[in-house]
Structure 1
Amino acid sequence: MSVLDQFRLDGRVAVVTGGGGGLGSATAEALAEAGARVIVVGRSQDVLVKTVDRITGAAGMADHRVTDVSDEADVGDLFDWVEHEYGPVDVLVNNAAVADEAAFVDVTVADWDRVLNINARGVFLASRALARQEHSGTRSIINVSSLAASVGVKNQAAYSASKGAVTSLTRALAIELAASSIRVNALAPGYFHTDMPAQVLAHERARDALLRRIPQRRVPDPREIGPSMVYLASDASAFMTGSTIHLDGGYTAQ
């Protein structure tokens, strides 16, 4: 097999949670371009359909499923449905996440629980559902962490805690699931042009202050996450598990 052939995902079934958002949609489109059949998952059918339409419009294979990743029954139904319609899941991208920007003293228990339930509990539920499926080959779980798991971010206590949990869970699952031929890695993005950091990027002084902290001095397009996702999903990373790739322009290298 050639080097480039190792990046192909032909015949594989991939589930991308949070598949209607900026990074989730870009991930789904990249996996589909590499040959995977992609199921995009989220809470808003309208945005999921838009992602599917872009993929199928480019001759890719995609479907969608409205799912609350923090709900155990919902996640179980999702994986049962995917297996019935397309076969067991080969690639899982745990991308669904929310943030709640607030001073730590103002964070409510309800806010804390909402962020942790989606960002961390959702990763646990979906990863467990994949691990419980019968599968004869190798599989890949890609957990989307964040630079906030490695550096302090003001007014993001719940989000930072949730992403720290995701990074730690990635290492634990990599050890435990290796015997089942499941690789588990994390991708930790920095600031991209998505809805989550949009308020910061909309203000010139805040944007300039952010750029001064990024060695590459730029904020990338969401599509730039695609190649790294394809690498982690494919046989090109066959000997990688338990690792976290920082895709942040050098932010966390300082």
Structure 2
Amino acid sequence: MTYDSIFKPGLFSGRTVLVTGGGSGIGRCTAHELAALGAQVVLVGRKQDKLENTAGEIVEDGGSVAWRVCDIREEDAVKAMVSAVIAEHGPIHHLVNNAGGQYPAPLASINQKGFETVVRTNLVGGFLVAREVFNQSMSRTGGSIVNMLADMWGGMPGMGHSGAARAGMENFTKTAAVEWGHAGVRVNAVAPGWIASSGMDTYPEAMKKMIRSLKDHVPLQRIGSESEVSAAIVFLLSPAAAFISGHSIRIDGAASQGSRAWTLGAAKNPEGYNGFHRAYLPDVLKGE
């Protein structure tokens, strides 16, 4: 089996795409789709085993892939990583700025170190990677960047550190789109809502009941798939989005809209899209 993308074969042939956080979750899925469409994919992450596993899958499926271990929170490491990728593969045409992480906690119990760690990962790290890709490559050749946000427009109770960082990343996206547009660089973002991804299994036991009930709070009455996020990312990277920049696409089944005053109807026609042949259903959702 191969990735069942809605995009035409060979769309990214001859293009090098850097995918941070490419060893798991949405990053892994997006890397698979881009590789299936002909891209030379370069996975970046902190954990070598995850990168090797995803790279092995892509090679087995016939794709072209390389990987680099890098902590995107470290400026010198990011500079060196981007330089090494360019030396090995030439210009970086696209960046999927996906890496991130957070943990559940109310604001009152988050200490300074915890808050700063999440902000460094979800905002500062993304800035460093995008800046170096621009300075070392895209400022001369043009390109496209897609940053990762989250559904934070109504705040993120229980994850205020991540909400603050993601809100900052949205503003960075708009600013970079203006400052870098002259070089032919487009900068956009995607904001996934509740997506069935391996990350759901990292949350504590106490949150499992809540996770299983998430679909009941989505107007489309279901949780999204990694493929639905990947498809939006691929579109924004593609020539079809050549005049779209500074925009954020919400992929959340309208969960970020409306209010509690409106009662959601019973679910019907709940079909979704899942083209990822290696998709992983989180353990917490099995049997649902």
TM-score class normalised by the smaller sequence: over 0.9
- Aligned 1:131-210 pairs, distance under 5 A: 131-135=134-138, 136-148=140-152, 150-198=153-201, 199=203, 205-207=209-211, 209-210=213-214
Q: Is this contact kept in 1: 2:16–2:92, CA < 8 A?
A: yes
Q: Is this contact kept in 1: 2:177–2:186, CA < 8 A?
A: yes
- Which residue of 1 is the match for residue 87 of structure 2? 84
Mean CA deviation greater in 243-252 or 150-159 = 150-159
- Aligned 1:226-237 pairs, distance under 5 A: 226-237=230-241
- Work out whether 1:250 is the aligned partner of 2:254: yes
Q: Which runs of 4+ in 1 moved over 6 A?
A: 200-204
Q: Quote how far apart the aligned CAs of 1:133 are.
A: 1.9
Q: Quote how far apart the aligned CAs of 1:215 are.
A: 1.0
1:57 and 1:72 mapped to 2: Cα distance?
33
State TM-score, norm by structure 1: 0.92
Q: Quote how far apart the aligned CAs of 1:234 are.
A: 1.2
Mean CA deviation greater in 82-91 or 205-214 = 205-214
Count of residue correspondences: 251
Cα 1:107–1:231, aligned 2, differ >3 Å: closer, same or farther?
Answer: same
Please give the per-residue CA displacement for 1:20-75, whole angstroms capped at 9, x wherever unaligned.
12111001111111111001110100011111111111111101100000100110
Which amino acid is 2:55 matched to? Answer: V
- Work out whether 1:220 is the aligned partner of 2:224: yes
- Which residue of 2 is the match for residue 46 of structure 1? 49
Please give the per-residue CA displacement for 1:177-215, whole angstroms capped at 9, x wherever unaligned.
000110000000011122433348996742454222111
- Work out whether 1:122 is the aligned partner of 2:134: no
Q: Is this contact kept in 1: 2:8–2:37, CA < 8 A?
A: no
Q: Quote how far apart the aligned CAs of 1:216 are.
A: 1.2
Identify the structure with the greater helix proportion: 1
Mean CA deviation greater in 201-210 or 88-97 = 201-210
- Which residue of 1 is the match for residue 273 of structure 2? none
1:188 and 1:200 mapped to 2: Cα distance?
23
Indicate the structure (1 or 2) with the bigger Cα radius of gyration.
2
Mean CA deviation greater in 44-53 or 195-204 = 195-204
DSSP 3-state at the match of 2:144: strand
Mean CA deviation greater in 221-230 or 75-84 = 221-230
Which amino acid is 1:214 matched to? Answer: V
1:182 and 1:204 mapped to 2: Cα distance?
41
Mean CA deviation greater in 191-200 or 238-247 = 191-200
Gaps of 5+ in 1: none
- Which residue of 2 is the match for residue 19 of structure 1? 22
1:83 and 1:143 mapped to 2: Cα distance?
20
Q: Quote how far apart the aligned CAs of 1:6 are.
A: 10
Identity %: 31
- Work out whether 1:67 is the aligned partner of 2:70: yes
